[in-house]
């Protein structure tokens, strides 16, 4: 419920005479324009943020992006140039693997930029620049508002890079920023619809596993939805880009098996609907996340988590994920789990 306010805070005073104001980067316009590749380094939920950030930076700024789990990067040889930017994403700013990776990238000559929630954290102290997502303290172990705030911060970074290297003009940047400004209101609408998540939670009552599917940026929404379900309800779930379903996961499907499909009104909508049809044909019970007024999905699925129309396709992950966070919460409560303090998990992973 705190997510809309967190995002409003993050966007405040960000639009200035030079488009998006990102003073925290502490790099000149020429240096930003010269960036030829970006490494996004993170763990867990923050890694899912990096996957969306990759799409935005590549689409808008035309810069190739490498997403790496910090724990993996620490044992690899990254391909660093004189103009490589390393972006570390960490809610706590104390994630051991991420900090180790940041130090290593810095030693290789990268500028390191941190997106974090905690003032004065190790990530903030050790980076060349830090963007605080200002989400406020996140009490529960499973990250929710930090996830969406980090995504908004990543979008601002992508816009700043695109403006610096000329891939976008100021009018385009302002257009995308205006879309971001609609996010708090869209999220509030989803939160008002949480009865839909409570209703859909019944699908998981006797489940042993679940499959999450999405395409494009919403394959990441599927990953995050599955992670939330695993973290707080202890129900096994896996996520795939929907087109990969036929390459193995379809073997899981049997009568009553829950499939969560993210199928907004986007350019791949019809492809994802065909995945829903394939799932239903094999007896699966599909919970769809769909855009208001989608009659095809309404006819196919008894359980639909409706989202209001979004101004641009890349806004959908910010809005749709709120439904999946709420769904995981209701499933966890139905299974008698502690939503705020899941077993075996720590809020901040400070060991490697």
Q: DSSP class of residue 314?
A: G
The CATH number of whichever domain residue 132 belongs to comes to: 3.40.50.10490
Whether residues 266 and 168 share a domain: the answer is no
For 26, how many CA atoms within 13 A lie in the half-sphere containing its CB? Answer: 11
Instruction: Please write the tens of the pLDDT for every residue from 189-201.
Output: 999 999 999 999 9
How far out from the chain centre does Cα 338 lie?
Answer: 23
pLDDT at res. 286: 98
Whether residues 226 and 279 share a domain: the answer is yes
CA distance 205 to 67: 35
Contact status, residue 204 vs residue 228, Cβ threshold 8 Å = no
Whether residues 153 and 204 share a domain: the answer is no
Whether residues 192 and 172 share a domain: the answer is no
pLDDT at res. 14: 82
CA dihedral 58, 134, 290, 231 (to 10 degrees): 100
pLDDT at res. 282: 96
Whether residues 49 and 195 share a domain: the answer is no
pLDDT at res. 185: 96
Number of domains comprising the chain: 2
Domain ranges, residue 227: 188-334
CA distance 161 to 85: 11
Residue 352's nearest CA partner among 79, 40, 140, 43 is 43
Whether residues 297 and 207 share a domain: the answer is yes
pLDDT at res. 349: 66
CA distance 46 to 153: 12
Q: DSSP class of residue 42?
A: E
Whether residues 202 and 250 share a domain: the answer is yes
Identify the burial level of 308 via C-beta atoms within 10 angstroms of its C-beta, where 0-12 means exposed, 13-18 middle and 19 or more buried. middle
pTM of structure: 0.94
Whether residues 10 and 116 share a domain: the answer is yes
Task: Give domain status of residue 292, yes or no.
Answer: yes
Task: Give domain status of residue 339, yes or no.
Answer: no
> Tens-of-pLDDT digits for all 352 residues of the chain?
688 888 999 998 888 766 787 777 778 889 999 999 999 999 999 999 999 999 999 999 999 999 999 999 999 999 999 999 999 999 888 889 999 999 999 999 999 999 998 888 899 898 998 898 877 765 555 667 889 999 999 999 999 999 999 999 999 999 999 999 999 999 999 999 999 999 999 999 889 999 999 999 999 999 999 999 999 999 999 999 999 999 999 989 999 999 999 999 999 999 999 999 999 999 999 999 999 999 999 999 999 999 999 999 999 999 999 999 999 999 999 888 878 777 776 656 665 7
Task: Give domain status of residue 125, yes or no.
Answer: yes
* Domain end residue (candidates: 181, 207, 233): 181
pLDDT at res. 151: 95
Whether residues 228 and 167 share a domain: the answer is no
Whether residues 25 and 168 share a domain: the answer is yes
């Amino acid at each position: 419920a705190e997510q809309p306010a967190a995002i409003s805070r993050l966007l405040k005073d960000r639009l200035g005479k030079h488009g998006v104001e990102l003073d925290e980067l502490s790099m000149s316009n020429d240096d930003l324009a010269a960036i030829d590749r970006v490494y996004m380094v993170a763990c867990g939920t923050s890694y899912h943020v990096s996957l969306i950030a990759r799409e935005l930076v590549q689409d808008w700024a035309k810069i190739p992006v490498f997403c790496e789990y910090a724990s993996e990067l620490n044992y690899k040889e990254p391909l660093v140039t004189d103009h490589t930017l390393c972006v570390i994403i960490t809610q706590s700013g104390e994630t051991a693997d991420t900090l180790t990776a940041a130090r290593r990238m810095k030693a290789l000559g990268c500028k390191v930029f941190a997106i974090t929630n905690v003032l004065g954290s190790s990530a903030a102290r050790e980076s060349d620049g830090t963007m605080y997502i200002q989400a406020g303290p996140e009490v529960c172990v499973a990250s929710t508002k930090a996830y969406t705030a980090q995504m908004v911060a990543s979008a601002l970074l992508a816009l700043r890079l695109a403006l610096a290297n000329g891939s976008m003009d100021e009018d385009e940047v302002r257009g995308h920023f205006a879309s971001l400004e609609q996010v708090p209101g869209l999220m509030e609408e989803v939160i008002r619809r949480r009865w839909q998540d409570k209703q859909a939670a019944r699908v998981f009552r006797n489940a042993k596993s679940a499959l999450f599917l999405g395409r494009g940026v919403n394959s990441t929404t599927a990953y995050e939805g599955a992670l939330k379900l695993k973290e707080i309800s202890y129900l096994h779930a896996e996520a795939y880009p929907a087109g990969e379903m036929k390459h193995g996961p379809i073997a899981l499907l049997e009568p009553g098996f829950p499939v969560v499909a993210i199928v907004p009104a986007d350019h791949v909508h019809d492809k994802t609907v065909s995945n829903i049809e394939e799932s239903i044909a094999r007896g699966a019970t599909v919970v769809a996340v769909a855009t208001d007024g989608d009659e095809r999905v309404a006819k196919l699925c008894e359980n639909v988590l409706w989202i209001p129309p979004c101004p641009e396709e890349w806004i959908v992950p910010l809005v749709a994920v709120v439904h999946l966070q709420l769904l995981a919460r209701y499933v966890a409560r139905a299974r008698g789990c502690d939503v705020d303090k899941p077993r075996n998990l720590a809020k901040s992973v400070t060991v490697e």
